[in-house]
């Protein structure tokens, strides 16, 4: 049991779901207490402008609150952004989350998909800037990338940012998994924020608040932030989600604890999967992606473990799988089950 009230050795349930991306430590006490102490917010529709939440996020992110917009999770923020900007041409780098295409297609955008090199672990390099031309309205970058878990260097981000300035392109950095990354300041676009950059963030993953989705975006351009806030197609962030977000923005200790735990368990899990013969991609997020010719998702499901098949993600075939870093027991259970499958033991 840790000082924050989390048992990182807790036993798994009958079904171990490692297909998602939520923090295995679960929702922190700070968020649970904020909800329990403010029961009225559970029945509140919420402030449409998210004023109190944006004030808390302003302190958390060290940016003026008028350069922050809030939504119902990271996916919702992407849809709000594309709805407000209505890009006609956009660039995405694959593999990436299918939500990028969905958000762009909803506004009738023409999409250029740039396939990254699997021999380089699908890593994004400064050459990515070469595919951004005048007339490109938006480029979306996952950092860390879902589903690979790889991060983009600041050198590469800066090269892309400079090209976007020249072409007047909105550069969207999806950083919803960045809080899991050790020394995240080395990779976050926060340090190069300019008027063309939008950073998508979320508390759903790190604070395990998927039931109370709360995402937000940090903008370099105040007028674009206001435009996204006024975009009226999306639902209001609930009062409970806003209260959870305010509490989460104050809980630095839980983020540090989570980073240490995820970093240690991810490294251990990667080594164990590699020893079983699975090619595991380098990751700094709270999940790992690997390749396996067997229908491993179906075989593990029969043993009470759920992992994600990545064939639906842009740029990947059905022999790629993503597995979340779970609790200590869940990770052991996963490795043991795969070992039994490979050795044909029941």
- Asked whether residue 23 carries a pLDDT value surpassing 60, the answer given is yes
The CATH number of 16-27+252-342, from 2.40.40.20, 3.90.1150.10, 3.40.50.300, 3.40.1390.20, is 3.90.1150.10
Specify whether the CB–CB gap between 344 and 306 falls below 8 A.
no
Per-residue model confidence (pLDDT) at position 72? 93
Element spanning 174, H or E = strand 170-174
Specify whether the CB–CB gap between 164 and 170 falls below 8 A.
yes
Distance CA 112, CA 137 (A): 11
Specify whether the CB–CB gap between 163 and 129 falls below 8 A.
yes
Q: Domain 29-248 adopts which CATH fold? A: 3.40.640
Per-residue model confidence (pLDDT) at position 280? 98
> 113: which strand partners?
92
Start and end residues for every CATH 3.90.1150.10 domain found in the chain: 16-27+252-342
**What pTM, to 2 d.p., does this model score?**
0.92
Length of the chain in terms of residues written? 346
Start and end residues for every CATH 3.40.640.10 domain found in the chain: 29-248
How many C-beta neighbours within 10 Å does residue 2 have?
12
Q: Which long-range contacts (CB under 8 A, 24 or more apart) does 293-297 make?
A: 293/319, 294/341, 296/321, 296/338, 296/341, 297/321
Percent of the residues in the chain that have a pLDDT greater than 90, as a whole number = 83
- When mean pLDDT is compared across 36-50, 86-100, 173-187, the lowest value belongs to 36-50
- Read off the pLDDT band of 258 (50, 70, 90): very high
DSSP per residue over 265-286, as a string?
A: HHHHHHHHHHHTT--BPP--SS
Q: Dump strand ranges (E) for 184-294.
A: 197-202, 215-219, 287-291
Mean pLDDT, residues 157-186 taken together: 96
């Amino acid at each position: 049991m840790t000082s924050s009230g989390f048992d990182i050795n807790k036993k798994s349930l009958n079904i171990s779901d490692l297909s998602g991306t939520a923090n295995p430590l679960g929702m922190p006490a700070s968020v649970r207490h904020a909800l329990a102490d403010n029961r009225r917010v559970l029945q509140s529709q919420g402030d449409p402008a998210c004023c109190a939440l944006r004030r808390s996020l302003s302190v958390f992110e060290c940016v003026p609150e008028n350069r922050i917009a809030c939504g119902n999770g990271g996916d919702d923020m992407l849809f709000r952004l594309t709805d407000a900007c209505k890009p006609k041409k956009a660039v995405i780098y694959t593999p990436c989350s299918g939500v990028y295409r969905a958000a762009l297609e909803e506004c009738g955008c023409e999409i250029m998909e740039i396939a990254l090199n699997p021999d380089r672990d699908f890593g994004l390099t400064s050459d990515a800037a070469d595919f951004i031309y005048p007339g490109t309205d938006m480029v979306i970058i996952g950092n860390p990338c879902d589903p690979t878990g790889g991060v983009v260097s600041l050198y590469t981000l800066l090269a892309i940012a400079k090209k976007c300035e020249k072409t007047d392109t909105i550069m969207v950095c999806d950083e919803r998994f960045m809080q899991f990354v050790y020394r995240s300041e080395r990779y976050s676009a926060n340090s190069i924020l300019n008027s063309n950059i939008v950073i998508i963030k979320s508390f759903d993953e790190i604070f395990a608040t998927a039931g109370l989705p709360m995402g937000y975006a940090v903008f370099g351009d105040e007028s674009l932030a206001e435009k996204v806030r006024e975009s009226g197609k999306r639902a209001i962030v609930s009062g409970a989600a806003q209260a959870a977000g305010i509490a989460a923005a104050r809980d630095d200790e839980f983020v540090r604890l989570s980073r240490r735990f995820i970093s240690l368990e991810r490294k251990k899990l990667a080594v164990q999967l590699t020893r079983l013969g699975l090619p595991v991609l380098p990751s700094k997020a709270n999940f790992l992606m690997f390749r396996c010719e067997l229908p491993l998702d179906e075989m593990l499901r029969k043993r009470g473990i759920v992992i994600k098949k990545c064939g639906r993600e842009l740029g990947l075939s059905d022999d790629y799988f993503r597995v979340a870093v779970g609790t200590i027991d869940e990770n052991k259970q996963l490795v043991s089950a795969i070992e039994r499958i490979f050795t044909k033991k029941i």
